[in-house]
Amino acid sequence: MVLKSSFTFLLVATMAVFSSYTPQAEAHSWADCIDWRFKNQNPRSKKLDFSSSRGYCMGYPRRFPKDKEFGSLDVAWPSRHYQQTHSNPAPNRAIACSDRKHGVEVGSDETRARRPQDAYGGRYGRMTVTSVGKRLCVRWPSKNHAKKNEPNNMVQINLAPRAGLELNQQELLKNTVALLPYKNCNPGRNEDRRTCGGCFDVPKRRPGIYQLQWRWMLNKNEWYTSCADIQIQ
């Protein structure tokens, strides 16, 4: 009985270790904030600190749970990352924004709300409000993909050309407005939770609410996306 109890304890302990480790090993990234504001930094500086102690978020992706710990949404359910893969459908024919039904990792529901503002507020973060020419800074967690041996693939920022449109992936790829280095991250010992980000100037658009997509390739034909609505005044 003692041996059996000891074996059971070791088995449970071993499973606990692996279950706590696995999310880090399989972690992938997503946009954490669409409109990051710095407290005492010029957003046009070459080196920017995206850590939470140096700034705050003023605009989030669709239905983003603002009260969650930074970088923790790969272990929550539904997870935040939505994977577009080389399987059927091919990445560029996949839906642009997760609906919790399509994709290998369905992620959270980023379907456009009937009224875009309904996907924001309350337990979700607020919608981004900006203007043409303004510097918009986007933040994301490193999720173990900013190490020296990792490729520095670019993050695509895709923005619909007209207000009110919800474009598919092929159409969004015709409207890339910025390329941001994924590994633009702050230093830190925790490779999973390093803060990363990049900035771009809002292109010329008429006033209205626009679909914005954050899209990043981890491996060939394996993309991760986050969607947001931004109001351009």
Dump pLDDT digits (tens) for 169-212. 999 999 999 999 999 999 999 999 999 999 999 999 999 999 99
pTM score of the predicted model: 0.87
Band (24; pLDDT cuts 50, 70, 90): very low
Question: Above pLDDT 90, what percent of the chain?
Answer: 73
Bridge-based pairing of strands 128-130 and 222-232 is: parallel
Tens digit of each residue's pLDDT (9 = 90 or more) over 134-145: 999 999 999 999
Tens digit of each residue's pLDDT (9 = 90 or more) over 51-79: 999 999 999 999 999 888 999 998 887 78
With DSSP H G I counted as helix, E B as strand and the rest as coil, what are the percentages for the chain, rounded to 5?
20, 30, 55
CB of 51 closer than 8 Å to CB of 196: no
CB of 54 closer than 8 Å to CB of 137: no
Q: Residue 17: pLDDT above 60?
A: no
Q: Looking at residue 175, what DSSP letter applies?
A: G
Band (27; pLDDT cuts 50, 70, 90): low
Domain layout of the chain by residue ranges: 29-232
Burial 33-67 (b: 16+ CB within 10 A, else e): bbbbebeeeebeeeebbbeeebbebbbbbbbbeee
Q: Beta strands of 94-194 (E only): which ranges?
A: 128-130, 135-141, 154-159, 176-181
Q: CATH homologous superfamily for 29-232?
A: chitin-binding protein cbp21 (2.70.50.50)
| Distance from C-alpha of 22 to C-alpha of 83, rounded to nearest angstrom | 18
Band (23; pLDDT cuts 50, 70, 90): very low
What residues pair up with 216 in beta bridges, in sequence order?
A: 155, 224
Cα separations (Å) of 24 from 20, 131, 144, 165, 193?
A: 8, 37, 7, 36, 10
